[in-house]
Amino acid sequence: MRDNNYTGKISNSRKAGAGQRAQKSPHTGNKSRGISDSRKHVENIPDAEGQNYRSDLRTKGKSQETIYRDEINSKDKRQRNAGFDNSINDPSQDFIENMIQGKNPVLEALKSGRTIEKLLIAKGSTEGSVREIIKRARDLKIVIQEVDRQRLDEISQSGAHQGVIAYVTPYEYVDVDEILARANDKGEAPFIIILDEITDPHNLGAVIRTAECCGAHGVIIPKRRSVGLTPAAIKASAGAVEYVPVAKVTNLAALLDEMKDKGIWIAGADVTGRDYTQQDFSGPIALVIGSEGKGIARLVKDKCDFLVRIPLRGRIESLNASVAAGILMAEVMRQRG
């Protein structure tokens, strides 16, 4: 029987392989160069085709966004012709992780010290939050460009830019050991969220947002068959991605073995589990949330120390991942006081 102590580091050598799928779970579902202070800090963006948008990103006269869209459209067409969709494993996924959209996500990125290369603001935006963004960007000597809102619509990946888009250094995923170290530095028992094949970026962002509010030390996602920190996920996190470390691993099942060796209890969300309100979450804990369609993979579920369920009374058979995760995280926070 494990106690509530944990020691050591999570080895990177055992993160390999993949698990099989499991049965449906009824309660789980699938985030420069400055401008001289002596002149105005807002520039006009070039023509609609993005000519000279940024010299170091120019390729045969095409803007960064145009090149990206051309690559995605070409790849999507090839995939449709081949009869399959591999968008979750698209290598260009890493590319779009250098864009943050929306007022709150951009503002939190500025507050957290994230490196921002360029800021695009819709012409005529004068509301308070935008003024604060512009002020902070000027103080940090970040290049600001005023653009037509239609131009932002063309650039936007999430469709919810709210008149603000920032180009940032790509998000750096952390090692699992860094998440454990974060808990140790705070003198707290580890509280970790593990997502098994969540493909909806809005779910991922919402889970990260709730994790930050409930005091979780980090979120872990698999490298394959899972969405990463896309603009939509970052937007849905409402800036929480700047404060909650996210790790990517190759093999969740192997990771769970190593976590158990360190004294961390593994709780899986599954319909066959015990009522979550009857379970003790006060010690070192990792919550595993599976996809709405297939739940937690069988191999991952077998590695869990115990399973918990969220009782439902209505006709709908399931909650999505972010809602289920939020309910369980709130219970962990309540029990920890």
Domains of the chain: residue spans and CATH = 43-67+88-168 (3.30.1330.30), 176-336 (3.40.1280.10)
> Residues of the chain whose pLDDT is less than 70?
1-97, 157-159
pLDDT 10s digits, 180-221: 999 999 999 999 999 998 989 899 999 999 999 999 999 999
Burial of 90 (0-12, 13-18, 19+ CB in 10 A): middle
pLDDT 10s digits, 111-146: 888 888 889 998 888 778 889 999 999 998 898 989
With CA atoms as reference, report the closest residue to 246 among 293, 213, 209: 209
pLDDT of residue 2: 60
| DSSP count for the chain of H helices, then E strands | 11, 11
pLDDT of residue 326: 97
To which H or E segment does residue 164 belong?
A: strand 164-168
Going by C-beta distance under 8 Å and a sequence separation of 6 or more, which residues neighbour residue 121? 42, 130, 133, 134, 144, 145, 146, 147, 163, 164
β-pairing, 285-290 vs 191-196, is: parallel
